[in-house]
Amino acid sequence: MEILKLAALDEQDLEIISAHVQDAVTKVGELKFVASSRQFALPLNRFAWEQKSGLFSQRNERRQSLLSFGRVLSIKTAGIDRDKKDDVLSLLAVQFVPVASPAGAIDLVFAGDATIRLEVECIEARLSDTGAAWQASSRPIHKA
């Protein structure tokens, strides 16, 4: 198992991280914002899209990972009940909305019309595999 470690300092880098975390899942109670250090983090069970698959074999694997953001000024949520800590969130995309370069907002878009918006000074994101990998029971499928 190769450990994935990515950093994003611009919008193009963030698109790469977004591709790697598509279909990752986490629980509402796992979301963590530390205002004093302006850090936001969420542990993920991400689908390892980078795994090679062939015509006759598909490696469906999930990995424990950590997605973190620095220089976060504030957080807003929509469609998420913070009191329901065991609710599962399925991450679809990570998007940057520029405001006054390099500042802007990073939107974490989840299935079911749930969103977390991070107001940031600039893009500073990291994705790291942190632990175990296991065989996933299925491959995520999206309707076009």
pLDDT 10s digits, 116-132: 999 999 999 999 999 88
Residue 51's pLDDT band, with cuts at 50, 70 and 90, is confident
Average pLDDT over residues 82-104: 96
Residue 1 confidence (pLDDT) above 70? no
The dihedral through the CA atoms of 12, 14, 18, 19 has a sign that is positive
From CA 71, how far away is CA 123, in angstroms rounded?
Answer: 8
Q: Which pLDDT value is given to residue 132?
A: 83
From CA 97, how far away is CA 87, in angstroms rounded?
Answer: 27
Q: How many CB atoms lie within 10 A of CB 46?
A: 24
C-alpha closest to that of 21 among 103, 144, 140, 143: 140
Q: Which pLDDT value is given to residue 58?
A: 65
Q: Which pLDDT value is given to residue 21?
A: 98
Q: Which pLDDT value is given to residue 140?
A: 87
Q: How many CB atoms lie within 10 A of CB 4?
A: 15
Quick one: tokens of 102? Answer: 């390099």
Residue 70 confidence (pLDDT) above 60? yes
Among 55-59, 122-126, 131-135, top mean pLDDT goes to 122-126
